[in-house]
Amino acid sequence: MTPELQQHLLAGLRDGSIVPYLGPGVLADVRNAASGAPIPADSDSLILAMNDGKPMAPKLMYEFPRAAMNVELKRGRTTVTRFLNRTYGETAWTRGAVHDWLKSISPPYVIDINRDTQLQDSYAGVPHNLVVGIARIGGTDFRYKVWRWDGQAYARAEAVDPALPILFKPMGTPRPEGVYIASDADYVDFITELMGGFSIPPEIKTLRQGKRYLLMGLRLNRDTERMVLADMIYAAAEPSGWAFIAAPTDKERRFCRKVGLEIIEGDVFEFIGAAVAA
């Protein structure tokens, strides 16, 4: 990466013309505060954590939504929700360097496909919007909930306030309410409505026009992540942005060309100047 590109990205993140899009890799340095174990964030680690550290059948190890669907069918949807609440809402984790860095520059709009609360903690000192993805819920045509943080607590809101920072967590969070997109059935419902325009608030549809995106900590080998990404960045500028991907595969290169993302062959920790312990 050239110094000129680095400064361009930093300036765009600060002024909102470039939107951070966070994947599991941004949590690579986060550890359990008591045991020192890494936070389960990517597909394999989530499956192992959900199954008491034991691998599941090979066809279920392919992707977390598939494994979560299996658990849901056998033990109920609440079992998956309890696991995610326990993992992300009831366990103490160390702070991640990326989230401390984001706190220091305060982008006005962030998309985070992780289910932890570190992004929310980064914005705890300022009022903000929180948009959370939902699925398979009756009584509404929409697949999101909007919350407003006033500096002390979250309260439900009818609409997004564009004057405040916007944290979009499409896959859910335990705070203020444990709601998640996790199983195959959740993803099918959420992505179907995302393609139809019902999973994104109208204020964000307006805000996102002409934006560029910086993908951090996200590999693009899985169809699920690619489908969510393609619709989340709809109406982006051309080209649509950049993706930190160390040693990208041919599949990732093809997809990035298709959606207009330039690959930066490195990781976000190099970009922010932080080291990650093995």
Tens-digit pLDDT profile for residues 203-249: 999 999 999 999 999 999 999 999 999 999 999 999 999 999 999 99
pLDDT of residue 184: 97
Domain segments of the chain as ranges:
3-31+95-272
The answer to whether the pTM exceeds 0.85 is: yes
pLDDT at 57: 96
**pLDDT at residue 278, as a whole number:** 38
What integer pLDDT is reported at residue 138 of this predicted model? Answer: 87
Q: For residue range 16-71, list pLDDT tens digits in order.
A: 999 999 999 999 999 999 999 999 999 999 999 999 999 999 999 999 999 999 99
Is residue 276 very low, low, confident or very high in pLDDT (cuts 50, 70, 90)?
A: low
Q: How far apart are the first and last CA of the chain?
A: 23
CATH topology of domain 3-31+95-272: Rossmann fold (3.40.50)
Q: Flag whether pLDDT at 162 surpasses 70.
A: yes
Confidence of residue 274 (pLDDT cuts 50, 70, 90): low
Mean pLDDT to the nearest integer, 144-154: 97
pLDDT at 168: 98
